[in-house]
Amino acid sequence: MDDELVCVLCKGAQDEASNITQQKLVVNNKCGHRFHQACAEKELLRRKTFPCPACQVQVRRAGLTEKTLDELEVARDITVRKRITKIFNRSEEDFGGDLRAYNDYLETMEDVIYGLCSGDKGEADRAQATVREYEDRHRGEITKNAARKVDREKVVEEQLAALRQQQESRKHYNQLEEARKQQHARKLKLEAQEVALGERDHVTATMGDGLFLFLDSLTGEGLDGAGGEPGANGNAPAAVPAGMRQMLNIPAPLPQPQSNQDTRRRFASMSVTERRPRMQKAAAAPDRALGAKRNWVEMLGSLF
């Protein structure tokens, strides 16, 4: 019987005819030694704590963890596999495309792992001898492959870190851009309402507004041709001087048209019923203008 699966109290195991995979072992969390559950219960009934026979560490009921033999064997297989793969660390590219040789190499490694985990002392000794022989013959290659693996893992980690940083930067930029657009839309809508109420002369010009003025000078059409409202603030679009095309690439305010005092006076003399549709029309103008600005490249391309 494998020493790892033997109770350190009774130094024995269950009858071979019993269903051994269902027998419970308990592990002391402090020292890692194992006890049959029945043996541990017998000792704990006599006293609250007892010393581990292997290392003299005090064993308490709260420090014991139940595990089946299957769970212990899986844990041991994982431990052995980690140790062996650090020695048998050649990759497929090291075999120059010889798939059969690579598969034979993997089969040898699996045989070694099975021999160390099987619990048979003879197989374990033969597997350990195979490991020592391979390690002595390929010590330099093992070190080289281990260093290469570390370099690859470092490169992958750097790439993942750069990707995460890029995603965070893009997310932050999108949030700022969305907040800026929402703030700008609110500002345009508020200014349009103020113009409709006669509290200001005009809506602040933007680069997109300058584009609409430029299109007006070329086609002779108002903002209706771009999906907007001509003279939404009571003024017809102003003519664009020569060289204004270059300003389309400059995100700066453009000159404003002069306010129309006659329009303001007419609006002030209107009744509430007459004002309401004009106020609604003026309030919706910025939204339509923003929609037209998103298509400014297509509109400009159709003119040249």
**Residues 6 or more apart in contact with residue 196 via CB below 8 angstroms:** 267, 275, 278, 279, 282, 283
Higher pLDDT, 233 or 185: 185
Q: What was the pLDDT predicted at 192?
A: 76
Among 17-31, 84-98, 266-280, name the most confident range. Answer: 84-98
Q: Which domains occur in the chain, in start order?
A: 1-72 (3.30.40.10), 183-301 (no CATH)
Bridge partner residues of 50 (DSSP): 59
Q: What was the pLDDT predicted at 164?
A: 93
Q: What was the pLDDT predicted at 253?
A: 45
pLDDT tens digits, 203-251: 554 444 444 444 444 444 443 443 444 444 444 444 444 444 344 443 4
Q: What was the pLDDT predicted at 185?
A: 84
C-alpha 72, offset from chain centre:
35
Higher pLDDT, 75 or 202: 75
- Mean predicted confidence (pLDDT) in 91-102: 88
Among 69-73, 114-118, 192-196, 295-299, name the most confident range. Answer: 114-118
Query: Considering the chain, what percentage of its residues have pLDDT values greater than 90?
Result: 22
Q: What was the pLDDT predicted at 297?
A: 45
Residue 168: C-alpha distances to residues 76, 155, 157, 174 (Å): 41, 20, 16, 10
Higher pLDDT, 263 or 92: 92
- Mean predicted confidence (pLDDT) in 136-147: 91
Q: What was the pLDDT predicted at 35?
A: 86
Q: What was the pLDDT predicted at 286?
A: 52
Q: What was the pLDDT predicted at 32?
A: 76
Q: What was the pLDDT predicted at 215?
A: 45
- Integer Cα distance of 301 and 304 in angstroms: 6
Higher pLDDT, 14 or 25: 25
Q: Which has the closest alpha carbon to 206: 129, 286, 132?
A: 286
- Mean predicted confidence (pLDDT) in 82-110: 90
C-alpha angle 149-74-16 in degrees, rounded to nearest 5: 145
- Mean predicted confidence (pLDDT) in 239-264: 47
pLDDT tens digits, 149-179: 899 999 999 999 999 999 999 999 999 999 9
Dmax over CA atoms of the chain, in Å, equals: 109
- Mean predicted confidence (pLDDT) in 62-81: 82
Q: What was the pLDDT predicted at 247?
A: 41
Residue with tokens 């010889």: 98
Q: What was the pLDDT predicted at 204?
A: 58
Higher pLDDT, 3 or 225: 3
Higher pLDDT, 205 or 107: 107
